[in-house]
Amino acid sequence: MSITSPHLGSPSVWTDARLLYALEEVVETELNRHLQVAKDWMPHEYVPFSDARNFPGFFEDGEAWGKEQSKVTEVGRIALVVNLLTEDNLPSYHHEIATLFGRDGAWGTWVHRWTAEEGRHGIVMRDYLLASRAVDPDKLEQFRMAHMSEGFESDNRHSMLHSVAYVAFQELATRISHRNTGHQSGDPVCDRMLSRIATDENLHMVFYRNLLKAAFEIAPDLTMQAVRDVVVDFRMPGHGIPGFERAAAQMAIGEVYNLRIHHDDVLQPVLRFLKIMEIDGLGPEGLKAQEELGLFMGGLDAEAAKFDEKLAARKARMAARAGH
């Protein structure tokens, strides 16, 4: 879809406000498409409430949590906590996108609809974790308080275009993280719930990815630079969670989310869809950003190959130990 807006000025003077206005029609189109394909679902239908029992506190029959009560694997518990704490920060995410995208017109309708859909994810995950006793509820609440009390500021809050580029990748990263957590959890109920959440995240990714494609058509140089910056400096929104680095390392080894997954299943699909390396008509800054993006992806692939080797060696050592 091509947008011609000569009254907005030349591409050299694009501002966030001008880009927001220029993309409004695309946002409306994508919002209508999203509403047609998105399916409403009930969080309570995915939660095994019959497994629930009281915790200590006000109830005399309360039973303290113990690891043996959890049906999920160790990596499943770690990933579930990281994934839920990431979802918990929805108030901060809403504030950021409402500030960047506005609350009026199609942009505003999308902001509120997205927030409502994301709210389900935190609701169903928390209910599942408590009902099934999958994780330590006291530690979960302590982590939530610590994480949310710190607040959240996106690395891309300075630019609407950078923010659109970021969420195009981040929504896919979240989808992959939820799906792989479900696969590695060892609990079919957990897997089914996270599969439902992942479906939402994929639709959110498609919305932002298509918006990014339209941005390339009206401001290719700026969009290429934004994509370059976001890909090179990408961080998951949960990076501020207490103990995140250790949890991320365990999730990498557990094949929930690691360099290979990030390269193959998150960055590459979006870049391929955008045909990023085939975009022409770029100015000097756009060409430089395109070249740097290509070099970075090559380097990341090499780093992922090293990680693959280390992971394979670790699996071999563990298999050898198990054989003795």
Q: DSSP per residue over 253-286, as a string?
A: HTTSS-HHHIIIIIIHHHHHHHTGGG--S--HHH
The most distant pair of C-alpha atoms in the chain lies apart, rounded to whole Å, by 75
171 carries a ligand binding annotation: yes
CA–CA distance, 74 with 80 (Å, rounded to integer): 10
118 carries a ligand binding annotation: yes
Cβ-based neighbour number of residue 103 at 10 Å: 12
What is the H or E stretch that residue 209 is in?
A: helix 188-218
What burial letters (b/e) apply to 278-297, b meaning 16+ CB within 10 Å? ebeebeeebeebbebbeeeb
150 carries a ligand binding annotation: no
121 carries a ligand binding annotation: yes
- Number of C-alpha atoms within 13 angstroms, CB side, residue 178? 25
CA–CA distance, 148 with 272 (Å, rounded to integer): 35
204 carries a ligand binding annotation: yes
124 contacts 193 by C-beta, under 8 angstroms: yes
**Binding-site residues for Fe cation, please?**
87, 118, 121, 171, 201, 204
- Binding annotation: 87, 118, 121, 171, 201, 204
